[in-house]
Amino acid sequence: MSIVIAIDGPAAAGKGTLAKRLAEKYDLAKLDTGLLYRAVGFKVISHGGDPEDPKEAEATARALDPDELTNEALRTDAAAQAASKVSAIPGVRAALLDFQRNFAAHPPPLDDGTPAQGAVLDGRDIGTTVCPQAHVKIFINARTEVRAKRRFKELQYRGHKAIYARVLEDMMERDARDSGRSASPLAAADDACILDTSALDADQAFAKAVEFMSTKNLF
């Protein structure tokens, strides 16, 4: 049986770090689904296009090559804002759905070539829309200021120029757009474990997630 773990939550809540650690512990393939939307948004703006134009964004999403997901420029706030705009377009979400579901159902082998035990996907709508049958669903959140501070530090660490007030403002704008859109908004599934990481470091958040996993008797 291929185990599927869905991790959802707003920006900089700790999804990526948690997904990576769970993938390592349980031998799972990992997919950061935000990168798919970032790649689409970034491609549209790099060509001088409008990320809110459905025609262009949908065509870009349909032509997306997974090899494009490693571009460091996808980590910038400009790419995040463009991602948040293209991701509100239903045709873009539909174009990316099969790739995500296929990854969950047929996870690629691990880096060392051994077969994966399953997949962990992180995003905004994995537990609600992409993999509603996931064996484990975790909704990870933290106070906005805490998330903005984390994001600010991450941008600095990666060598990108950043101003905290701007990062906070962008994050609030993106949260509002992601939660308010009608196509697959950011939301916790009814059966998700809610994990608030405002006062938790990565080790503590991981320990809580592992504790929750152990209640499911999957391994």
Binding site for ligand C5P (CB under 6 A): 11, 33-34, 37-38, 80, 83-84, 87, 123-126, 174, 178
> Closer CB to ligand C5P, residue 82 or residue 115?
82
Taking the complex as a whole, the smallest distance from the CB of residue 113 to ligand C5P amounts, in Å, to 28
Taking the complex as a whole, the smallest distance from the CB of residue 214 to ligand C5P amounts, in Å, to 26
- How many whole angstroms separate alpha carbon 15 and alpha carbon 5? 12
> Closer CB to ligand C5P, residue 3 or residue 80?
80
- How many whole angstroms separate alpha carbon 30 and alpha carbon 22? 9
| Ranges of H-type helices in the chain | 15-26, 34-46, 54-62, 77-86, 90-105, 144-157, 164-180, 202-214
> Closer CB to ligand C5P, residue 109 or residue 143?
143
The angle formed by the CA atoms of residues 189, 191 and 197, to the nearest 5 degrees, is 75
Taking the complex as a whole, the smallest distance from the CB of residue 126 to ligand C5P amounts, in Å, to 6
Taking the complex as a whole, the smallest distance from the CB of residue 176 to ligand C5P amounts, in Å, to 11
> Closer CB to ligand C5P, residue 115 or residue 180?
180
- How many whole angstroms separate alpha carbon 109 and alpha carbon 117? 9
